[in-house]
Amino acid sequence: MLLAEAAKQPQASRTDEREDGIMKKLAVALLSAAMVLSLMGCTGKSTGEKKNNTDKTVQTETTDTEKESETDSSAVTEVTETTEQSGTDSKTQGLDYVAVYEPVLENYREQYGDDILYTMYDLDEDGAKELIVSYGTCMADWENTVYTYEASGAEEIGSFYSQVLLYQAEDGNGLYAVAGQMDEPRVWQITMQDGTLQKQNVENAQTEEGEDYYKNDHPVEFVKITDQSLLGQK
């Protein structure tokens, strides 16, 4: 019986050894699987973070580009406005009507004597007054020539005819020129557009009761060429 038990012990020992080997292999397999899953989890997280960081970078760059575009647009607008303002200021700054218009008046005075009339009015509202010279030898050849102010000298922009009375236009655009031709009063609106003189008939100019000609409360007076006080005005 002892021999039988002795014979059984080696067989039981071999069985235990096999079971231990299987358990060890199973443990190694489980450990390997756990490591693989762990590595996969880390890799997925890193990729997601990189994607999020990339999206944030693209969004930031897009926002910065939009801001730069808005800034550039504002800068262009400011430059345009500054340039337009500068153009007006450069013409009106340091106006010297004596230097620019006096030679013109002296030229007319030499040709027609002291009976020449003139006045000044800002026809295009740019801050510099135009010079209007009224001259002639009789009603038939009477003329009114208009000059605009330039720093380099007076520039002729056009003429209109007949002896006239001048008034500020009712709509604020230029002047009304009132003339009597063959006992028929006429009213023209004198304006300046794109550097040239414009004249058109005013059909609806109302003559006050008892008056032969149109007039309003804002006359623009002519003075004789010998009176150069207007040249000193600003």
Residues spanned by the domain of 85 = 1-93
pLDDT computed for residue 3 by the predictor:
37
> What is the predicted pLDDT for the residue at 206?
73
Domain assignment present for residue 140? The answer is yes
Query: Is residue 34 situated within a structural domain?
Result: yes
Using DSSP's 3-state secondary structure scheme, residue 138 falls into: coil
Q: What is the pLDDT of residue 4?
A: 42
How many other CB atoms sit within 10 Å of the CB of residue 121?
17
Residues 159 and 89 reside in one and the same domain = no
| 87 and 128 fall within a common domain | no
* Number of structural domains in the chain: 2
The phi and psi torsions of 121 (rounded to 5 degrees) equal -160, 140
What's the pLDDT score for residue 160?
A: 96
Q: Which two tokens stand for residue 163?
A: 């002896």
pLDDT of residue 51: 46
Q: Are residues 199 and 218 in the same domain?
A: yes
- Is residue 196 within 8 A of residue 158, CB to CB? The reply is yes
Q: Please check whether residue 157 lies inside any domain of the structure.
A: yes
**Amino acid 6: pLDDT:** 42
- Does residue 234 belong to any structural domain of this protein? no
Model pTM above 0.75:
no
The confidence score (pLDDT) of residue 184 equals 72
pLDDT the model gives residue 53: 52
Q: Is residue 134 part of a domain?
A: yes
Q: What is the pLDDT tens value at each position of the chain, 234 positions in all? A: 433 444 444 444 554 555 555 565 555 455 555 554 444 544 444 444 544 554 555 555 555 655 565 555 555 445 445 445 555 555 667 899 999 999 999 999 999 999 999 999 999 999 999 999 999 988 889 999 999 999 899 999 999 999 999 999 999 999 999 997 656 778 999 999 999 999 999 977 777 776 778 899 999 999 999 999 999 987
pLDDT at 211: 73
Mark whether 136 and 171 lie in a shared domain: yes
Residue 102 lies inside a defined structural domain of this protein: yes
CA distance 221 to 136: 18
Q: Which of 93, 113, 138 is the endpoint of a domain?
A: 93
How confident is the model at residue 204, as a pLDDT?
73
On whether residue 55 sits in a domain, the answer given is yes
Give the whole-angstrom CA distance, residue 29 versus residue 27.
5
pLDDT for position 205:
74
